[in-house]
Amino acid sequence: MPDLARSNNAAVGVKADGLPRWGDVPSQQSNDIMEDPPSRKLKSSANASTTPPFCMNRSLNAKVALWKGAIWTLEVDAIVISTNESLTDDTDVSGGILKAAGNEIYTEIRSAGTCRTGDAVATRACQLLAKRLIHTVGPRYNDKYKNAAENALHSSYRNCLRVAKEERASTVAFPCIYRRKKNYPRDEATHVALRTIRRFLEHFGDSFDLIVLCVEDTGDLQLYQEWLPVYFPRSTDDEAAGKLALDALPHINLGDEFGEPVIEERKIRISSVPFVHDNNNDANDNPHDEIALGRRTTTLCGQWS
């Protein structure tokens, strides 16, 4: 039985072809770590006649892998880095990526300029085993502006995928774009990430061979193991369990056909807030930074195709 997630501490690269695809991981294995995963909430009450929001798609399941380890060791076409507007954040996972890329990456960063919250920009990956490095800026979370933060996080994932498609990067590794220091709730962010990736692959799956969801700790690993069967079901049981699980969480936004959050009040609520972008001097971060992102973010992000 293949391991769902394998740690890697070696200096050598980890080949993408060696990662177990989500569709090949037995359902029981992915659920063993959870005391009460969605699929176990299903058994007595699933309504098979109700269409689930996310249907089984073997082709898409074969394009996703979950992996625990150092993202900068992956041999993929592109690695995503969650950073600040000046692309210079060298803390946590981002610091590991920049260090592995070598000093030359700072020349690339200077040439790239800046990146606004929710957007993405590509540079050479320099000494990384990847070919391209896709920089994105995730939002700072403030419960008062939750809708704007969700829209911005969705835009970050979507734009990374859009840039990867434009760069013809067919294998892409994602860290958790939602940085802990920006306070985005991990469980809610997991839904945004999986929903956005799923919907993008539904439209542009032919452009990708593999999306690697790379995590550093057991907490994020467990969240992905819990919710991957919902957004990428591998059986009719997964489909039905996923619908039940999401029905029990009415605050989780399922988004539109592209995964963009559908929130009617957003047009009024967000349009009344001035557009604030992140200067990203993290020591001086203001909890109200990066909140007014709404439709402006969508406009900045460009088109899907």
The pLDDT assigned to 28 comes to 59
Taking the alpha carbons of 269, 227, 218, 176 in that order, is the dihedral positive or negative? negative
Residue pLDDT, tens place only, 231-266: 999 999 999 999 999 999 998 999 999 999 987 665
The pLDDT assigned to 30 comes to 52
- No. of helices (H) and no. of strands (E), the chain: 10, 8
For residues 61 and 297, give the distance between their C-alpha atoms in angstroms, rounded to a whole number.
29
Catalogue all structural domains in the chain, each as residue range(s) with its CATH number.
51-301 (3.40.220.10)
Nearest to 248 by CA among 29, 55, 46: 46
CA distances from 209 to 57, 59, 120, 180, 219 (A): 14, 10, 20, 29, 27
Intervals of the chain under pLDDT 70: 1-11, 28-49, 264-305
